[in-house]
Amino acid sequence: MNISIKKHIMDNFKGASKEDIKASIVSSFNDKDEITLPGLGVFFGIIWSKSSLEEQNRMLDILKDSF
């Protein structure tokens, strides 16, 4: 059986409101449950692919300064 985690996550959020997406992200951090990491990775991948070079560099600066 071939399961695409990315497709499953994207299908799960089709039609979701901004509030639903935000609640999922906040819950992922508050629960400290590592099972949500793939979903956050999919979210980040979407954001990254739709961001300008300037926005990507800003994200990289934030990440670099966080370690």
How does pLDDT run across 47-56, given as a tens digit for each residue? Answer: 999 999 999 9
* Mean pLDDT across 15-30: 94
Select the highest-mean-pLDDT range: 2-6, 25-29, 46-50.
46-50
Give DSSP secondary structure letters for the chain: ----HHHHHHHHHTT--HHHHHHHHHHHHHHT-GGGHHHHHHHHHHHHHTS-HHHHHHHHHHHHHT-
More confident residue, 15 or 5: 15
How many residues are there in the chain?
A: 67
* Mean pLDDT across 2-29: 92
Query: Which tokens hold the place of 60?
Result: 């990289």
